Amino acid sequence: MPDAPSSVTTATPTDASGITVDPRTIVTSDPFNCESALDVQVGSLTPTALHFVRSSHPVPQIDVASWRLRVEGNSARQDVELTYQDLLAMPARSQVTWLECAGNGRAFFESVQDQPVDEGQLPWGPFAAGNAEWTGVSLADVLDLAGVIHSALEVHIEGLDEGKRGRPIPLDVARRPTTILAYAMNGVPLTGDHGYPLRAIVPGWIGMNSVKWVGKVVISSTPVKVPTNTTTYVLDGPDHPGTPALTTQPVKSVVALPWDTKLSAQPTAVRGFAWSGSGPVARVEVSLDGGTSWQDARLAEPAGPLAWTPWEFAWTPAPGRHTIRTRATDAAGNSQPDEVTWNRLGYLYNAVVAHPVEVA
- Are 56 and 87 found together in one domain? yes
- Are 97 and 201 found together in one domain? yes
CA distances to 67, 101, 198, 276 from 73, in Å? 19, 28, 20, 32
Tell me the residue ranges of DSSP E strands in 5-104. 26-29, 32-34, 69-72, 80-82, 93-100
Query: What is the reported pLDDT for 294?
Result: 98
Q: pTM score > 0.75 for this model?
A: yes
- Are 223 and 269 found together in one domain? no
Tell me the residue ranges of DSSP E strands in 36-165. 69-72, 80-82, 93-100, 129-138, 154-159
Asked if residues 217 and 70 have their Cβ atoms less than 8 Å apart, the reply is yes
Tens digits of residue pLDDT in 102-157: 999 999 999 999 999 999 999 999 999 999 999 999 999 999 999 999 999 999 99
- 13 in a structural domain: no
Query: What CATH number does the domain containing 39 carry?
Result: 3.90.420.10
- Are 259 and 206 found together in one domain? no
* Residue 11 confidence class, pLDDT cut points 50, 70, 90: very low
Tens digits of residue pLDDT in 169-218: 999 999 999 999 999 999 999 999 999 999 999 999 999 999 999 999 99
- 9 in a structural domain: no
- 177 in a structural domain: yes
Query: What is the reported pLDDT for 16?
Result: 82
* Residue 9 confidence class, pLDDT cut points 50, 70, 90: very low
- 244 in a structural domain: no
CA distance 267 to 282: 26
- 118 in a structural domain: yes
- Are 218 and 266 found together in one domain? no
Query: What is the reported pLDDT for 5?
Result: 35
Looking at the DSSP bridge assignments, the partners of residue 162 are none
CA distance 33 to 25: 9
Element (H, E) at 228: helix 227-230
Element (H, E) at 320: strand 320-330
- 4 in a structural domain: no
The widest CA-to-CA distance across the chain, in whole angstroms, is 68
Query: What is the reported pLDDT for 275?
Result: 98
* Residue 19 confidence class, pLDDT cut points 50, 70, 90: confident
- Are 55 and 165 found together in one domain? yes
Asked if residues 70 and 79 have their Cβ atoms less than 8 Å apart, the reply is yes
* Residue 15 confidence class, pLDDT cut points 50, 70, 90: confident
CA distance 234 to 244: 5
Q: Phi first, then psi: give them for residue 230, nearest 5 degrees.
A: -120, -30
- 237 in a structural domain: no
- 184 in a structural domain: yes
Tens digits of residue pLDDT in 215-255: 999 999 999 999 999 999 999 999 999 999 999 999 999 99
Tell me the residue ranges of DSSP E strands in 206-319. 214-220, 252-255, 261-263, 268-275, 281-287, 295-296, 298-299, 309-315
Buried b or exposed e, range 319-351, using 16+ CB within 10 angstroms: eeebbbbbbbbbeeebbbeeebebbbbbbbbbb
* Residue 18 confidence class, pLDDT cut points 50, 70, 90: confident
Query: CA 29, 30, 35: angle at the middle one, nearest 5?
Result: 40
CA distances to 106, 174, 336, 338 from 349, in Å? 6, 26, 10, 11
CA 85 to chain centre: 28
Asked if residues 202 and 173 have their Cβ atoms less than 8 Å apart, the reply is yes
- Are 176 and 109 found together in one domain? yes
Query: What is the reported pLDDT for 310?
Result: 98
Query: What CATH number does the domain containing 261 carry?
Result: 2.60.40.650
- Are 183 and 57 found together in one domain? yes
Average pLDDT over residues 90-107: 98
- Are 146 and 261 found together in one domain? no
Query: Does pLDDT of 93 surpass 50?
Result: yes
Question: In terms of residue numbers, what domain contains 127?
Answer: 23-230
Tens digits of residue pLDDT in 330-344: 999 999 999 999 999
DSSP string, 117-145: --TTS----S--EEEEEEEEEEHHHHHHH
Asked if residues 274 and 251 have their Cβ atoms less than 8 Å apart, the reply is yes
Q: Domain count for the chain, please give it.
A: 2
Average pLDDT over residues 5-21: 59
CA distance 127 to 355: 12
Radius of gyration of the chain (CA): 20
- Are 189 and 330 found together in one domain? no
Query: Does pLDDT of 315 surpass 60?
Result: yes
- Are 219 and 327 found together in one domain? no
CA distance 340 to 337: 7
Query: What is the reported pLDDT for 13?
Result: 64
- Are 220 and 304 found together in one domain? no
Tens digits of residue pLDDT in 35-92: 999 999 999 999 999 999 999 999 999 999 999 999 999 999 999 999 999 999 999 9
Query: What is the reported pLDDT for 8?
Result: 32
Amino acid identity at 27: V
